[in-house]
Amino acid sequence: MSVFIGGAWPYANGSLHLGHIAALLPGDILARYYRLKGERVLYVSGSDCNGTPISIRANQEGKTIREIADHYHQEFTESFSRLGFTYDLYTRTDGAFHHETVQRIFLDLMENGHIYKKETDQMYCETDQRFLPDRYVEGICPVCAHPSRGDQCDNCSTILDPLDLLEPKCKLCGNAPTVKKTEQFYFALSAFQEELEAYVKEAKDRGAWRENAIHLSERYLKEGLLDRAVSRDLPNGVPLPVEGYEDKKVYVWIEAVSGYYSASRQWAAENHESDEEFWQGDAKAYYVHGKDNIPFHTIIWPAILKGIGVQGLPTHIVSNEYLTLEKRKLSTSKNWAVWAPDILDRYNPDSIRYFLAINAPENRDTDFSWREFIYSHNGELLGAYGNFINRTLKFIEKSYEGTVPKAEVDSSIKRTIEGLYESVGRKIEEGHFKEGIEEVFAFVRFANKYFDEKEPWKEIKENRASCDQTIATCMLIIANLSQLLNPFLPFSTKKVQGMLAMEELNWAFVACETNTVSNIKPLFERYDVKRIEEEVDKLIKESD
């Protein structure tokens, strides 16, 4: 089976924070899982280096767009690597490959009759003497009356045209813009209405999209799809591949989502591979992002793919809800955020992955608090998982002089483990990562209980054969936990596999072949609970 996984493309205009990581982590869990299973996986993403947020930041800091993009792209690459994300390609949208692919897609859509030219009204700032990109216009959302940007309302998720805004203002100078005529190119999205209705209905029946994705897509379809301008007068981006219009740029609606395709093509070219299989109708295609990105992946991207005759539409939409921080909405402008480079400097990446997997905002917003974070590490990762491994290995070191006893293992536990591969695997495939890791940790707690009840420290004196069986069973559990937890906790499972000299990993029951253990070190360090207060103080002090 071929599995394509597309992680959302973070804007290269500011550091990644835990909200981004919570939205993107499912992609890496999927990629690791499917590779363990032996499937052909292509997992791609990249930094969005076009678009207005970057030019806004560059203006503010007196830097070039390229300098800003380089800085954050480099930082993103490092953060993802420190978090253990296993992208097959993590690229950027200001590269030649992306530009050429987007232009090709634009021309194909035009040749197939899906793009047309039209005279239109656009916001123009007399003070700044320029047409204003959507995000350069701010005002009041006509639907929910909250303050909103010109492209989309963050409060009610309505996709907007800046002309819809009430009380519009230029973001650059604060004055009210005027309206001027200009020519733009339009994507005939309305023509895909019926096809997309059938597509969303099929996804709903299959149950492979998050509920928020189904709801929002149904809402857009119910409101009726409108043709959308896909060219803009922007300072940066992909130039329009149409003679006489090279000054205009391909708008983010087509440009950004096409990154999945251009990254795939780039990966294929750089690795002398073919990526055709990932774009066929029978490939699985997961798209992993936050809920604000839903319509681009469930409506726009499928319409573009249909428009250029590509069969491989998104099959699974993994669109997380939001992560709050200490019960408050994350805000980058107010610096109410935990930044990825910062938390990675001081905490184990598996602690972060564990917390964001087991508290994943899958069906509702969830909260990150330093208290919960420290306690979940100390109590569950260290206290349950780390402890089970440590007590077993230490016992072998002490009572068996490091030689792992060979014995028939408990057959009911063997069956439980086999069942876990099937059940946890299904949960991962269906996008229920939280339930998946919960199930493995329920088994970790069971394993500790098994150890307590067997009392090997007594067995070793009273019934050596029985003790051999207990310890052999515990070792079997550890070997299999290291595989079952690999998609979630790659760093600590790698350590365990090192201790057990396991070579090849699979997503299937494995016997424990280890003969000796030595040099036992705890898997995790305990975090001092004093850190909770320190971290919360730091957060409050540094926020505005």
The site for Zn ion (CB under 5 A) is made up of 125, 127-128, 141, 143-144, 153, 155-156, 170, 172-173
Q: What is the distance between the alpha carbons of residues 393 and 388, in angstroms, rounded to a whole number? A: 9
Pick the closer one to Zn ion by CB: 5 or 141. Answer: 141
Pick the closer one to Zn ion by CB: 126 or 195. Answer: 126
Kindly state the tokens that stand for 64.
């070039």
Pick the closer one to Zn ion by CB: 143 or 539. Answer: 143
Give 29: exposed, middle or buried? Use CB within 10 Å, 0-12, 13-18, 19+: buried
Q: What is the distance between the alpha carbons of residues 233 and 153, in angstroms, rounded to a whole number? A: 21
Pick the closer one to Zn ion by CB: 173 or 198. Answer: 173
Minimum separation from the CB atom of position 168 to Zn ion (A): 11
Q: What is the distance between the alpha carbons of residues 78 and 81, in angstroms, rounded to a whole number? A: 5
Q: What is the distance between the alpha carbons of residues 331 and 324, in angstroms, rounded to a whole number? A: 9
Pick the closer one to Zn ion by CB: 111 or 365. Answer: 365
Minimum separation from the CB atom of position 148 to Zn ion (A): 5
Place of tokens 């070579």: 503
Minimum separation from the CB atom of position 250 to Zn ion (A): 24
Kindly state the tokens that stand for 510.
């494995």
Pick the closer one to Zn ion by CB: 144 or 511. Answer: 144
Pick the closer one to Zn ion by CB: 127 or 403. Answer: 127
Kindly state the tokens that stand for 298.
């469930």
Minimum separation from the CB atom of position 522 to Zn ion (A): 50
Q: What is the distance between the alpha carbons of residues 487 and 505, in angstroms, rounded to a whole number? A: 11
Three-class secondary structure of residue 439 per DSSP: helix
Q: What is the distance between the alpha carbons of residues 431 and 436, in angstroms, rounded to a whole number? A: 9
Pick the closer one to Zn ion by CB: 74 or 127. Answer: 127
Phi, psi of 45 (to 5 degrees): -170, -170
Minimum separation from the CB atom of position 126 to Zn ion (A): 8
419 Rama class: left (phi>0) / alpha (psi -120 to 50) / beta: alpha
Closest to 501 (Cα-Cα) out of 492, 512, 514, 489 = 514
Q: What is the CA 236 to chain-centroid distance, rounded? A: 26
527 Rama class: left (phi>0) / alpha (psi -120 to 50) / beta: beta
Residues contacting residue 322 through CB under 8 Å, at least 6 positions apart:
19, 290, 291, 329, 330, 361, 365
Helix or strand run (H / E) with residue 133: none
Pick the closer one to Zn ion by CB: 123 or 413. Answer: 123
Cross-strand pairs, 120:
182
Minimum separation from the CB atom of position 125 to Zn ion (A): 3
Q: What is the distance between the alpha carbons of residues 353 and 358, in angstroms, rounded to a whole number? A: 8
Minimum separation from the CB atom of position 93 to Zn ion (A): 26
Pick the closer one to Zn ion by CB: 169 or 432. Answer: 169
Closest to 402 (Cα-Cα) out of 293, 314, 514, 315 = 514
Residue 228 identity? R
Pick the closer one to Zn ion by CB: 143 or 536. Answer: 143
Minimum separation from the CB atom of position 313 to Zn ion (A): 29
Minimum separation from the CB atom of position 176 to Zn ion (A): 9
Minimum separation from the CB atom of position 153 to Zn ion (A): 3
Q: What is the distance between the alpha carbons of residues 529 and 204, in angstroms, rounded to a whole number? A: 45
Minimum separation from the CB atom of position 132 to Zn ion (A): 7
Residues contacting residue 175 through CB under 8 Å, at least 6 positions apart:
125, 126, 127, 169
Q: What is the distance between the alpha carbons of residues 455 and 391, in angstroms, rounded to a whole number? A: 12
Minimum separation from the CB atom of position 134 to Zn ion (A): 14
Pick the closer one to Zn ion by CB: 291 or 306. Answer: 291
